[in-house]
Amino acid sequence: MPRPRPTPPGVAERLQKYLAQRGLGSRRGVEEWIRAQRLTVNGKIAELGQKVTAADDIRLDGRPIKARAAAAAQVFIFNRSPGDPLRESSAERAALIERLPRNAGKRFIAVSPMPGIDGGLELVTSDGALATRLQRANHQLSCEFSVRVKALLGPDQLAGVSSGKLDRPARMQVEGVSSSEADLEGSNRWYSITVRGASGKDIRQLFERQGVLVSRILRVSMGDVKLDKSLLRGQFRQLEAEEIEGLLHPKPQADNAA
């Protein structure tokens, strides 16, 4: 029997297809649950043909079903340590994607990966079409990076970073740059920079144009998807459908005029 075709995250779909895509039962089996009144949606007995989204409270025999993104649209977030290989194993370290569940796919694609010497937030998926969509959407996403430099930037250097000027004609849209005494680390200082649609390579170039040595860059967030203390270095988790939808359709840029 052919597998159900995936539905884009956030789009309403028939209950039996929704659950079947997520490996929670066959369509026929889900239909039997519905006929037996074992399924409820938002507190009401489910009906055949009823459409749902990830926002609905779906329960089987009173127990909530926490459905993740469809198998064909799985996206994982890694907290990668600088130097750890993401896709290809080295002589000393195994690739991070080798830790992913085997049923998640065989070939993974990284979305706007950080340079190998840097680290932080990485996104990977085994869905090529979804990876392309996420890559395009990334150009509109507001992303935060932590940058460690062996210097204290002066006013002119900070202005240079804020300008977003690179070696190519295009400029990055810098939304903010900050640092504090708490960000001191020996002779190094950490800077937090929020930009729209930039890569780790762009961030390094932006700071190095100011004549400083950049020793490390960590990506902290992509849109609303952020690293937090619960995801330790080297760990991963699967994104929920709502998070994937937020990456594909980022919120409009806030109006700075107040």
Query: How distant is the alpha carbon of residue 198 from its chain centre?
Result: 14
Residue 198 three-state SS: coil
If one counts every other C-beta atom within 10 angstroms of the C-beta of residue 192, the result is 15
pLDDT over 60 (residue 73) = yes
SS (H, E, C) 75-96: EEEEEECCCCCCCCCCCCCCCH
Residues of the chain with CATH 3.30.2350.10: 142-222
Digit-coded pLDDT (tens) for 248-257 = 987 766 544 4
User: Rounded to whole angstroms, how far apart are CA atoms 238 and 240?
Assistant: 7
The answer to whether the predicted template modeling score (pTM) of the entire model surpasses 0.85 is no
CATH homologous superfamily of 13-67: RNA-binding S4 domain (3.10.290.10)
Residues of the chain with CATH 3.30.70.580: 68-140+227-250
Residues of the chain with CATH 3.10.290.10: 13-67
pLDDT over 90 (residue 224) = yes
Query: How distant is the alpha carbon of residue 56 from its chain centre?
Result: 22
Question: 204 Cβ partners below 8 Å, 6+ apart?
Answer: 115, 118, 147, 214, 217
CATH number for the segment(s) 68-140+227-250: 3.30.70.580
The pLDDT, as a whole number, for residue 2 is 40
Digit-coded pLDDT (tens) for 17-43 = 888 766 666 778 889 899 999 999 999
What mean pLDDT comes out for the span 34-55? 91
pLDDT over 50 (residue 91) = yes
> In the CATH scheme, what architecture does the domain 142-222 have?
2-Layer Sandwich (3.30)
| Mean pLDDT (the chain, rounded) | 84
Q: What is the largest CA-CA distance in the chain?
A: 71
Residue 1 three-state SS: coil
User: Rounded to whole angstroms, how far apart are CA atoms 196 and 249?
Assistant: 14
